[in-house]
């Protein structure tokens, strides 16, 4: 479920999904952003290929008469900025033209929100992207995964698989977010609705 605000992303050139590489992490909550990009690629029959110069899996998506770069870093989460920064530099993409999909502890499974700018709130992937881009002004899709209830439990929580019910709710949110993204990419230039 999305917020009720207007979402507009007409200047986006790069869409990134965050996660950790390898089968050990593929089904963990921290990979929700990667799940989003994988679902987008599946819907539009795109094939991600390993691009060593970006340390990422990468493809191009043509939608609405525009070309977009699609990226899933092949680095561990804490080094996500390495891949995002390399791709952005290679294609001369400014931070304001980047959209990052990531897991969000502050929202329940099934909830997603779009946001522009802001801090990293302890998310190491966002922290490293901010470091490499020297900017916070990229866009985000925040995919709710819920919170374990105590900050000391967060690390184990995000690196474990969600329950069957939670995973279905996350998947549903992803499927709802994709058409919102499609619409946002083709709207006239307007500020992205700020959310909590």
Catalytic residue among 30, 57, 102, 123: 30
H/E element holding 177? helix 164-186
DSSP for residue 145: -
Q: Is 30 a catalytic residue?
A: yes
Return the residue matching tokens 């998506």.
61
**Are the beta carbons of 117 and 100 closer than 8 angstroms?**
no
Rounded to the nearest angstrom, the gap between the alpha carbon of residue 175 and the centroid of all alpha carbons in its chain is 14
- Between CA 116 and CA 98 the distance in angstroms is 10
Active-site residues: which are they? 30
């Amino acid at each position: 479920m999305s917020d009720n605000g207007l979402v507009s992303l007409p200047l986006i050139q790069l869409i990134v999904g965050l996660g950790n590489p390898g089968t050990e992490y593929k089904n963990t909550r921290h990979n929700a952003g990667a799940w989003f990009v994988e679902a987008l690629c599946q819907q539009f029959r795109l094939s991600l290929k390993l691009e060593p110069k970006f340390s990422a899996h990468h493809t191009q998506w043509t939608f609405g008469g525009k070309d977009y770069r699609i990226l899933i870093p092949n680095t561990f989460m804490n080094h996500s900025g390495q891949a995002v920064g390399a791709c952005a530099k290679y294609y001369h993409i400014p931070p304001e033209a980047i959209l990052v999909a990531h897991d969000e502890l502050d929202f329940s499974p099934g909830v997603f929100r779009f946001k522009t700018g802001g801090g990293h709130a302890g998310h190491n992937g966002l922290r490293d992207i901010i470091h490499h881009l020297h900017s916070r002004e990229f866009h985000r899709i925040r995919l709710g995964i819920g919170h374990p209830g105590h900050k000391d439990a967060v690390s184990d929580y995000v690196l474990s698989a969600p329950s069957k019910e939670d995973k279905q709710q996350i998947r549903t949110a992803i499927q709802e977010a994709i058409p919102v993204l499609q619409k946002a990419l083709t709207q006239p230039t307007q500020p992205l609705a700020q959310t909590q």
